[in-house]
């Protein structure tokens, strides 16, 4: 990978703040966009802005072709069967809410739902609401001392009452990559539905939904170079066919009378109203860009950055690191400086034009498990460099001096 050449594709990386070049280490929150994606969105609005699936004019036909092409690119990227299995939503959170709402119709009083303590709120709150609505029981799989999913605890808590298992593929705090390929067979043998939050894994590792064998699988475009406001819910065709829509309205219907309505074919029965056409087209371009670089190359680059970053941070006194010591894990490093609030760390880094995130990261149950109020987090992507990590480490030393650590 030619990182210098790649960085030239991202206009935002050219700017300075306080006379310092921008170091963007908040990729787990959202990624920056290459010019190719920006141009694709602009091109849509300038040259063929029209609604999809609703017109015979040439503008509408081109917009529809591009919109459906984005579904096809997404399906190929994760090795789905085709566009029937790719539902576009506004983000991974909506995808998981769709999953909880529609699968929730199959839940009865006394049934159980199994998730883990390392989940993002988007894969906790929808299941909490479902459990309350249906008087079901929500169980949590614990984590090990080194931040991995406790597989023994998982097997103890999975039982014949468990109707849905919903787990993250990769933690947004710990970087842990969970062995869902192994877990899925156990889930299926138990007769449970398997839902996966893949928002933190799809952008960083090669994804094969057939190998994971999830029934439903959620992720977002903006975490993988795409625009905001566009997410994905992959679903096995037979599962999506038996699910009722989450939203209703235009284009998701086949026929409407004064008494009833019937649904459109997949995936359109889950895409009510005018969709984020520009976002979908931009997402398709983001996938093209990632394919051009190679997801395996991106993964190897991030591993090298992670190894280098961990080595440098372990040399710093009075710092706590969270997450597994060894692979598999993504390019996320969460940490705390002793007696320094993570927001203060983020503030000093920001003054040095280093963008990170601090707080509970929408994972308060995990914060409670770690016995902290919050953490500072850096997260890498394909355009980051070891030189940027060196700048970050120097800024951490500066932070320690400011607070007398």
Decide: 181 and 212 in contact? Cβ < 8 Å.
yes
362 is known as an active-site residue: yes
Decide: 40 and 286 in contact? Cβ < 8 Å.
no
Residue 70: name the closest of 285, 388, 274, 234 by CA: 285
Sequence-separated contacts (24+) of 307-314 with Cβ below 8 Å = 308/386, 308/389, 309/333, 309/378, 309/380, 309/389, 309/392, 312/389, 312/390, 312/393, 313/393, 313/396
Copy the structure tokens of residue 131. 């459990």
Decide: 212 and 228 in contact? Cβ < 8 Å.
no
CA-CA distance, 62 to 405, in Å (whole number)?
Answer: 60
In degrees and rounded to multiples of 5, residue 290 shows phi and psi of -60, -40
Whole-Å CA distances, 358 to 94, 125, 267, 403 = 24, 21, 37, 17
Residue 306: name the closest of 179, 174, 396, 395 by CA: 174
Decide: 103 and 164 in contact? Cβ < 8 Å.
yes
The catalytic residue among 129, 316, 362, 393 is 362
Residues with catalytic annotation?
362
């Amino acid at each position: 990978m030619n990182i210098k050449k790649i960085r030239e594709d991202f206009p935002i990386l050219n700017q300075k703040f306080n006379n310092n070049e921008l170091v963007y280490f908040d990729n787990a929150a959202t990624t920056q966009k290459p010019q190719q994606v920006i141009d694709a969105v602009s091109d849509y609005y300038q040259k063929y802005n029209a609604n999809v699936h609703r017109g015979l004019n040439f503008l509408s036909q081109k917009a529809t072709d591009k919109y459906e092409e984005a579904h096809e690119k997404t399906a190929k990227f994760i090795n789905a069967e085709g566009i029937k299995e790719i539902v576009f939503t506004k983000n991974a959170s909506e995808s998981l809410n769709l999953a909880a709402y529609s699968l929730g119709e199959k839940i009865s009083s006394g049934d159980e739902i199994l998730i883990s303590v390392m989940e993002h709120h988007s894969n906790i709150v929808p299941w909490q609401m479902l459990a309350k609505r249906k008087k079901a029981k929500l169980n949590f799989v614990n984590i090990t001392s080194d931040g991995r999913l406790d597989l023994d605890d998982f097997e103890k808590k999975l039982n014949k009452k468990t109707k849905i298992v919903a787990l993250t593929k990769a933690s947004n705090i710990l970087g842990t990559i969970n062995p869902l390929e192994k877990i899925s067979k156990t889930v299926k043998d138990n007769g449970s539905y398997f839902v996966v939050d893949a928002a933190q894994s799809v952008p960083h590792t090669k994804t094969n939904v057939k190998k994971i064998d999830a029934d439903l699988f959620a992720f977002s475009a903006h975490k993988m170079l795409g625009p905001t406001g566009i997410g994905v819910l992959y679903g096995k065709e037979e599962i999506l066919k038996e699910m009722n829509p989450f939203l209703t309205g235009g284009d998701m219907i086949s026929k409407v009378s004064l008494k009833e309505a019937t649904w459109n074919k997949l995936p359109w029965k889950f895409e009510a109203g005018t969709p984020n056409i520009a976002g979908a087209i931009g997402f398709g371009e983001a996938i093209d860009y990632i394919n051009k670089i190679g997801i395996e190359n991106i993964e190897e680059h991030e591993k090298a950055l992670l190894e280098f970053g961990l080595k440098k941070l372990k040399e710093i006194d009075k710092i706590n690191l969270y997450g597994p010591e060894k692979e598999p894990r993504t390019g996320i490093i969460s940490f705390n400086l002793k007696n320094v609030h993570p927001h203060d760390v983020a503030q000093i880094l920001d003054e040095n034009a280093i963008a990170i995130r601090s707080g509970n990261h929408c994972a308060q149950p995990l914060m409670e498990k770690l016995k902290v109020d919050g953490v500072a987090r850096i997260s890498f992507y394909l355009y980051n460099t070891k030189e940027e990590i060196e700048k970050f480490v120097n800024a951490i030393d500066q932070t320690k001096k400011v607070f007398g650590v």
